[in-house]
Copies of this chain bind each other. A is one copy, B any other.
Amino acid sequence: MAKKGKLIGIGVGPGDTELLTLKAAKVLESVPVIFSPKSAKEKKSIALSIVTPILEKRKDYKRLMVVEPLFPMIEDQQELEKYWNSAAELIANYLDSGRDVAFITLGDPSIFSTYSYTQKKLANRYEIETIPGITSFTACAAAKNEPLVEKNDILTIVPKIDGRLDNFLEHSDSIVLMKASRNTKELESAIDEKNRPKEVFSVQNCTQENEKIVEGFSTEKPYLTTTIIKFTDD
């Protein structure tokens, strides 16, 4: 029986192709199948556009297999499960045929990544390797030349606001609001009014050509917006 392929999860970083790791670039220079989910049929996957400059250098670029399944941005868990299952089966077909599959994902594969849902469905059945990537929040801090945390600071990464936020506003030293485009004015006011001295900045499209750093919460909020709150009391 032919040897089965390996699934390789690759974090492609926040936007700049140069923020791929050497390890990721090496895989992308030779892997036969690239798996790049997208959130809407008419949109190009951001992860795919990040790796395209690497892929284009390949001699076999025109014959390269790029699979772009739809992973819609919906909240319905049962519906989502169907998409992940069919993606996992699609990947399994390639692995069974002996081909390695690189699953590319924005940022890092272990931080709110669709890779993790798919990967779990293939665990124990296939060899899996996960290559970490630059997360958006450290790239945002780097873009502003400012540390996220120092000394004994505690850092909290919040993907979506829920009732627990107030607790973190009380006890964390730095807070990263991922996908800040979902913030509401009310939430921002609540944070602003919190009785602790703080610095707030937002980074839009970090490391991409249209990167923009703004003080405070941003009024325009493209999808890739991150807000960082640093409390300055001791």
Contact = CB atoms under 8 A, between A and B. Distances in A.
A139 B132 contact: yes
Contacts of A18: 21-23, 26
Contacts of A110: 138, 141-142, 146-149
Interface residues of A, number: 58
A83 interface: no
A35 B187 CA distance: 43
A138 B172 CA distance: 20
Interface in A136-172: 138-139, 141-143, 145-160, 162, 164, 167-168, 171-172
A124 to B, nearest CB: 10
Contact of A135 (B113, B128, B138): B138
A130 interface: yes
A155 to B, nearest CB: 4
A16 interface: yes
Contacts of A130: 141-143, 145
Given A109-B138, A132-B138, 9 more contacts: A19-B22, A110-B141, A110-B147, A111-B149, A116-B147, A131-B142, A133-B138, A135-B135, A154-B158
